[in-house]
Amino acid sequence: LAKDRCRILKSEISDDDLLRPVSHEELWDENTDVGHGYRASNIEDEKKVKDLQKVHEILTLRVLAKKARDYDEADRLKDELYHEHNVRVWDKTREWNYVRSKSVQRGDIVAHDYIRAAGDSSDVDVQIIDNMLLERLRAKLKRDFEQADQLREELRLMGVRVDDGTKQWRAGVPLNERDPWQKPKINYQRRPSADEIDQDTAEISLLPVDE
């Protein structure tokens, strides 16, 4: 796993290297092991974080997880940053900022950060869904991905789809329909080369079409 790889490397990574920004090309270079490339949205956010060094380490772990295509671990680390360090990550701008979160009390996660999708007016028991989303978040933070996947499947059977990327959920989705956030699959077909075209077909294609 990416976190194990980073743990081994940490003894060889200096603080300067750990905090060093990386370019987009380096981010996906297998030979790049240090630096996360994220910056605080303003200097005041860095002062508000209790353990800034730990935040930088988790950001680096998350980059390594994404490079290793361990997206479950990357999502878990993102949740850990938010719920345990009050840090929200913005991947598009490669920034992070400090947020005042009330989701943690006495070391326990008491709230999730998912919102209901706009326009969803399905008649559902929101409290039950909130409880299941909270339970799923706790499972992810404990790295119990089997339990997290099971809860997601239970939600799906209830007609509730969850999008971890946008932190949204939508109810009333039929079982035979794909996730509302899933991009349609595009099937590409290769055009035959000139050598592959049958001679008879080529001759027919040159015939005029009667209109």
Amino acid symbol at 64: L
pLDDT at 15: 53
Average pLDDT over residues 133-144: 87
The mean pLDDT of the chain is: 75
Kindly tell me the burial class for residue 13, based on how many C-beta atoms sit within 10 Å of its own C-beta (0-12, 13-18, 19 or more). middle
What pLDDT is recorded for position 12?
A: 46
Higher pLDDT, 126 or 12: 126
Task: Give the integer Cα–Cα distance in Å for 140 and 149.
Answer: 9
Residue 63 above 90 pLDDT?
A: no
Q: Identify the pLDDT of residue 198.
A: 56
What is the reported pLDDT for 193? 58
The C-alpha torsion from 27 through 33 and 35 to 37, rounded to 10°, is 10
Mean pLDDT of the 178-187 span: 68
What residues contact residue 169 under an 8 Å CB cut-off, 6+ apart?
A: 114, 115, 116, 117, 129, 133, 155, 160, 161, 162, 163
* Whole-angstrom distance, CA of residue 153 vs CA of residue 147: 10
Closest CA to 114 of 170, 182, 62, 58: 170
Place of tokens 């598009």: 92
Query: DSSP for 62-91?
Result: HHHHHHTT-HHHHHHHHHHHHHHH-EEEET
More confident residue, 33 or 92: 92
pLDDT, mean of residues 123-146: 90
Identify the weakest region by mean pLDDT among 8-12, 17-21, 198-202: 8-12
How many Å apart are CA 29 and CA 23, to the nearest integer?
Answer: 10
Q: Retrieve residue 92's tokens.
A: 């598009």
Strand order in the sheet with 95-98: 39-40, 95-98, 87-90
Q: What's the CA gap between 209 and 211, in Å, rounded?
A: 6
- Helix (H) / strand (E) containing 137: helix 126-141
Dihedral of CA 100/102/108/110: which sign?
negative
Give CA separation, 107 vs 48, 83, 138, 158, in Å.
Answer: 19, 10, 12, 31
pLDDT surpassing 80 at residue 201: no
- pTM comes to 0.52
